[in-house]
Amino acid sequence: MMNSNKMTINLALFGMTQSGKSSAGNIILGSTDFQSSFAPCSVTKDCSLGRSCHFRSFMRRGGQEVTLQVQVLDTPGYPHSRLSKKHVRQEIREALAHHFGQEGLHLALLVQRADVPLCGQEESSPVQMIQELLGHAWMNHTAILFTHAEKIEEAGFNEDEYLCEASETLLKLLNSIQRRYIFQYKKGNSLNEQRLKILERIIEFVKENCYQVLTFK
């Protein structure tokens, strides 16, 4: 949603259980809207919408400063320890229609732990969910958010080396979404620094996609 001096960016988080979706959502929003904790089971059972504060003078468009607000939809992970795929899919479908039915969704963020390889069978779960819910245009509205990216540095890799060594499944996925990806670091970075870097990348992707949105009925 956009007027002359204000823009709202709508995001939805997808990913496997314990991938860091809720934590990433809190970082993006600069809040603690979403419950986030380590657990031996799935923590998020329901979709939840969070809204950021207004970021003034965060970006410019048409020569004018624009105030930015971000809305983030947190979703249950899949595979889920308690919920069936049918239940998770229906829960997310209803939430997308309720929150973004008219305004539209700018970007789906597939949250993937950087320290967990993305392999063929695993790829079919959250990615397939995105494909089913977003339809044929999913590739134009999806990016990968790598959480726990500090593990890459601890292992002696930089980002380029990490991607060069990535699984064929991950590389194929990255190529299909025009290599839209973000690395989220916790170690040595303040929450504000993390948030600004992630938001800058998200805005780049939205601009490259000419601010197009997916709507839901």
pLDDT score for 44: 81
Residue 10, both tokens: 């709508």
Q: Can you give the pLDDT at residue 124?
A: 53
186-212: pLDDT as tens digits: 866 677 888 889 999 999 999 999 999
Report how many helices (DSSP H) and strands (DSSP E) the chain contains, helices first: 8, 7
Give the pLDDT band of residue 80 (cuts 50, 70, 90). confident
DSSP string, 90-153: HHHHHHHHHHHTTT-B-EEEEEEETTS---HHHHTTHHHHHHHHHGGGGGGGEEEEEE-THHHH
Residue type, 183: F
- Per-residue model confidence (pLDDT) at position 42: 76
Instruction: Calculate mean pLDDT across residues 130-153.
Output: 95
pLDDT of the residue at 194: 87
∠ CA(164), CA(195), CA(212), 5° rounding? 75
**What's the chain's average pLDDT?**
89
DSSP assignment, residue 76? Answer: -
Computed on alpha carbons and rounded to an integer, the radius of gyration of the chain in Å comes to 16
Residue identified by tokens 């969070």 is: 50
Q: CB within 8 A of 137, min separation 6: which ones?
A: 214
At residue 13 the predicted structure's pLDDT band, cuts being 50, 70 and 90, is very high
- How does 79-107 read in b/e, with b if 16+ C-beta sit within 10 Å? ebeebeeeebbebbeebbeebbeeebbbb
- C-alpha angle 154-170-151 in degrees, rounded to nearest 5: 10
Q: Whole-angstrom Cα distance, residue 72 to residue 52?
A: 8
| 23 band by pLDDT with thresholds 50, 70 and 90 | very high
Structure tokens at 213: 């949105």
Q: Which residue has the tokens 């670091």?
A: 185
Neighbours of 126 (CB within 10 A): 24
At residue 116, φ and ψ (nearest 5 deg) are -125, 115
Tokens of 22: 């809720």
